[in-house]
């Protein structure tokens, strides 16, 4: 790859700093640029500098404003306080539950004005529709409405799946919100999504006129006269560039799922509505699997592999922080420090020390808001962090001492970053009767 010009380098550095808040490395961008021809670098950088990266604090701000408008719109209409009922879109692990995690954090210290109470549900069946009145507002949560497909499919009472033999299998939709999302009901139905893509928003408003949508609206990337890429000629040039590579990477979804043309990235996930050239890591050409260097990968298996590697690396930190877990490594009778809770506490401590957003940590670890609350309470008791989740001085000191030891060992290995886990892990002399 040709080294980008001085002007392009400045644009890349500025974008990393001001749009990605230094959450990306220059190497990540150069590696991504290597996918393209040298004379296409300017087009690729044009796409890169128009991407919108949302941190946890950005999402919290949007959710806070959306909640304010929901409550005040209800107050203006009804003149009385409301019961707010939150429900995430999708099953556990999906982005709707991440948004619910954020809302819980947002409201954990106080109840908003003009509300009687606030409650959270994880499954549509937990809400008794018969008990809802005109004092209730049911708020569905998600991070992005791209095409509107998620909301529409979730309202269906049955699901259809094509079997290998070609037959259509029809089953009840166990996660349907169709019993809640209905016209002419006494309660208010609201969809609060951080980002509302214009196409998806219009589609939902047409199909569900009785559902009020809240969030920040975004115009699709190659909208005529409104494109962030400028005038028609430049917009057309960038669109053809994205479509050319998108047709190789994601046939039928060249510009994102359902042609959403989104330029959105979240700290916790990358929507499939976003241009594929940004997040795809593998594609198929003539039956052969090929690699693509993503700017930020979306592939969950790749994320899990990365998380697994981090967890293995995390084990040595668990040993160095063993004093927090009541384990004496010099005691020959010790039972072992590598336990699930200790591993999670150590990983959480290291992430907090690096100022990684809590929602990103929870998503990486696959934990619910309740799971995180338990860990935070336990870590506070052990003196790892304070009530505000700030790492304590003693824990910072322990981390620094461990990092110093690991750094020395890596130097001794002459730059080869390998860890001999025998120095940290208990390895039994016999296993299943074999030595």
Domain extent listing, the chain: 6-54+221-291, 59-214, 300-423
311 or 187: whose pLDDT is higher? 187
Which parts of 86-155 fold into alpha helices (H)?
A: 95-107, 149-154
Q: What is the DSSP letter of 385?
A: B
pLDDT of residue 431 exceeding 60, the answer is no
| pLDDT (mean) for 66-79 | 96
- The tokens describing 145, both together, are 């409405």
Q: List CB contacts of 231: < 8 A, sequence separation 6 or more.
A: none
Confidence band of 332 (pLDDT split at 50, 70, 90): very low
- Long-range contacts at 118-124 (CB < 8 A, ≥ 24 apart): 118/83, 118/84, 118/86, 119/83, 119/84, 119/85, 119/86, 120/86, 121/85, 121/86, 121/87, 122/88, 122/92, 122/97, 123/175, 124/87, 124/175, 124/176, 124/177, 124/179, 124/180
| pLDDT (mean) for 36-64 | 95
Of the listed ranges 3-12, 321-330, 337-346, 356-365, the one predicted with least confidence: 321-330
Torsion, Cα of 356, 359, 361, 362 (10° steps): 170
> 73 and 212 in contact (C-beta within 8 Å)?
yes
Q: How far apart are CA 429 and CA 435, in angstroms?
A: 6
pLDDT in the model for residue 299: 62
What's phi and psi for 96, nearest 5 deg?
-60, -40
What's phi and psi for 226, nearest 5 deg?
-130, 10
- What is the Rg, in whole angstroms, of the alpha carbon atoms belonging to the chain? 25
DSSP assignment of 243-276 equals HHHHHHHSTT-TTSGGG--B-EEESS---TTB-H
What's phi and psi for 75, nearest 5 deg?
-60, -45
pLDDT of residue 320 exceeding 90, the answer is no
pLDDT in tens, 100-145: 989 998 998 778 899 999 999 989 999 999 999 999 999 999 999 9
Q: How much is the pTM?
A: 0.77
pLDDT in tens, 348-407: 898 898 887 787 787 777 677 788 889 999 999 999 999 989 999 999 998 888 888 776
| pLDDT (mean) for 301-313 | 52
- CA distances, 119 to each of 71, 79, 83, 419 (Å): 14, 21, 8, 47
Question: Is CATH 2.60.40 correct for 59-214?
Answer: no
């Amino acid at each position: 790859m040709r080294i980008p010009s001085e002007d392009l380098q400045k644009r890349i550095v500025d974008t990393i700093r001001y749009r990605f808040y230094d959450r990306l490395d220059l190497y990540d961008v150069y590696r991504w640029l290597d996918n393209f021809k040298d004379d296409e670098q300017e087009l690729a950088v044009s796409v890169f500098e128009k991407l919108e990266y949302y941190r946890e604090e950005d999402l919290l701000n949007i959710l806070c404003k959306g909640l304010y408008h929901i409550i005040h719109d209800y107050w203006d209409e009804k003149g009385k306080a409301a019961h707010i009922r939150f429900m995430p879109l999708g099953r556990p692990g999906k982005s709707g539950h991440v948004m619910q995690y954020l809302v819980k954090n947002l409201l954990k210290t106080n109840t908003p004005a003009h509300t009687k109470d606030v409650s959270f549900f994880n499954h549509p069946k937990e809400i008794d529709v018969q008990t809802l009145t005109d004092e209730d507002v049911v708020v569905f949560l998600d991070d992005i409405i791209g095409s509107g497909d998620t909301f529409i499919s979730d309202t269906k009472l049955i699901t259809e799946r094509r079997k290998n033999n070609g037959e259509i299998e029809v089953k009840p939709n166990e996660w349907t919100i169709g019993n809640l999302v209905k016209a002419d009901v006494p309660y208010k139905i609201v969809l609060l999504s951080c980002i509302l893509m214009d196409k998806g928003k219009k589609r939902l408003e047409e199909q569900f006129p009785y559902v009020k949508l809240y969030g920040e609206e975004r115009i699709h990337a190659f909208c005529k006269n409104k494109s962030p890429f400028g005038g028609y000629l430049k917009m057309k040039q960038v669109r053809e560039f994205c479509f050319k590579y998108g047709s190789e990477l994601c046939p039928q979804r060249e510009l994102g799922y359902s042609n959403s043309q989104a330029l959105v990235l979240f700290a916790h996930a990358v929507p499939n509505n976003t241009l594929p050239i940004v997040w795809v890591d593998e594609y198929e050409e003539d039956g052969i699997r090929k690699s693509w260097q993503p700017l930020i990968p979306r592939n969950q298996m790749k994320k899990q592999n990365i998380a697994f590697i981090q967890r293995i690396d995390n084990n040595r930190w668990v040993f160095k922080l063993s004093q927090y877990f009541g384990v004496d490594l010099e005691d020959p009778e010790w039972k072992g420090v590598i336990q699930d809770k200790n591993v999670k506490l150590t990983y959480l401590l290291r992430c907090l020390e690096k100022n990684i957003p809590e929602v990103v940590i929870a998503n990486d670890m696959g934990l619910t808001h309740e799971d995180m609350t338990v860990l935070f309470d336990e870590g506070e008791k052990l003196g790892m962090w304070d009530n505000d989740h700030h790492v304590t001085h003693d824990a910072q000191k322990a981390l620094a001492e461990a990092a110093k030891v690991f750094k020395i060992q890596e130097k001794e290995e002459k730059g080869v970053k390998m860890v001999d886990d025998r120095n940290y892990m208990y390895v039994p002399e016999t296993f299943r009767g074999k030595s």
